[in-house]
Homo-oligomer: A and B are copies of this chain.
Amino acid sequence: MIQENLPAIFRDFNPLENKMLSLIDNDGEVVNPKYMPSLNDAIVIEAYKQMLYERIADEMAVSYQRQGRMYTYTPNLGQEAIHIAAGMHIREQDWLVPAFREMGTLLAKGVTMKEMFLFYLGNERGGSFQNANHTLPIAISIGTQLHHATGIGYSVKYRKKDEAVFTFIGDGGTSEGDFSEALNFAGVWQVPVVFTIQNNQYAISVPVRSQTKSINLAVKSVAFGIPGIKVDGNDFFAMYLAYQTAAAHALAGNGPVLIEAFTYRLGAHTTSDDPSKYRKKEEENEWGLTDPLLRLKRYMEKKGIFTIDEKKLTEEYKKEITGQFLDAEKNKAYPYDDVFDHMYTDMPDELKRQKAEYEEFLNWKENRR
């Protein structure tokens, strides 16, 4: 709308006309050959595997929680195409600034399921994602993370680094002031940030129509003078193309991009939530037909490249994930020092004193037994 060097998809799928980029349909049929990215089969197979892995890990996490072996967990079910397509475009040196529902992208960045489990077992060591380069912890205070992404974008641009920044938010999150502020700053600063709204239709129980009167969420980009596009979030190829285009745009120095990934949270908001309170089974079923794994699988089957032994792979993944869970469970212990050690780079006397006083109490307690 504003930029001359804007890639064609932003024009062809103008959110002001309420268009959505979609490349394959629910049956895996290509509906938009013009834009279909020509990926070699290995990549498509890899994508499916990663989506499968995320799904299995997610299901297992839910079940560990149900068994009472883990605290409240946030399922990813149904949103895997977004996560994996993004993950495939985030390079080692790129930055990931997550919200809290993009596990597949975190895994692509090098986060392990052990870490995820450890986090949901209630240990910050898990959530710190020590081995994932340029990856921030999960952001719970909704919207705040977008500012961090924009700031990192400034830093990257200032230091002339070949690094892009990927950040996420939910449909509900777009109502927070920070969403608008961050996109506005990013527009003014022209930083290499790819913003994704995962529009999964609900913010806990609140449907997106109660969130805003705008005709879609991608169109909000107009308020900040940045390109925006609405994409079928359950269509792996559409998401792949969107990230490919957005990353190239950002890395070429053309500034930020907003992607609305139109999807559906097939599971509960968290394991403490009961969606039947606020939505109908029929709605869930209807969206079930657009399941990103099913769609990709049908596409692959049609093309004759579904060479995966899914059952075997599932068993393999389950075994591997079980191992990671047990490892996390075994190592969840929380040394007392961890409470104090990371508050400051040098521990102030005030904290030393509090720690020492508490230790006196622990000694008293010990002796009393």
Contacts and interface: CB of A to CB of B under 8 A. Distances in A.
Interface residues of A, number: 27
Contacts of A226: 213
Contact of A188 (B176, B210, B222): B210
Contact of A214 (B177, B190, B210, B222): B222
Nearest to A216: B225
Interface string A248-285: 00000000000000000000000000000000000000
Contact of A222 (B180, B181, B190, B223): B223
Given A16-B16, A188-B212, A213-B187, A223 B180 contact: yes
Contacts of A175: 181, 184
A356 interface: no
A187 to B, nearest CB: 4
Nearest to A189: B213
A125 B188 CA distance: 41
Interface in A165-189: 175-181, 184, 187-188
29 contacts: A1-B215, A2-B213, A2-B215, A16-B16, A16-B222, A175-B184, A176-B177, A176-B181, A177-B178, A177-B179, A180-B223, A187-B212, A187-B213, A188-B210, A188-B211, A190-B213, A212-B223, A212-B225, A213-B224, A213-B226, A214-B222, A214-B223, A214-B224, A219-B222, A219-B223, A220-B223, A222-B222, A222-B223, A223-B223
Taken together, the copies of this chain in the complex come to 2
Contacts of A213: 2, 184, 187-188, 190, 224-226
A219 B228 CA distance: 15
A184 to B, nearest CB: 6
Contacts of A2: 213, 215
Given A2-B213, A177-B178, 12 more contacts: A175-B184, A176-B181, A177-B177, A177-B179, A177-B180, A180-B180, A184-B211, A184-B213, A187-B214, A188-B210, A212-B225, A222-B223
A2 B219 CA distance: 13
Nearest to A174: B184
A175 B147 CA distance: 13
A85 B216 CA distance: 34
A349 to B, nearest CB: 33
Interface string A63-81: 0000000000000000000
A219 B226 CA distance: 13
Nearest to A219: B222
A147 to B, nearest CB: 10
A222 to B, nearest CB: 5
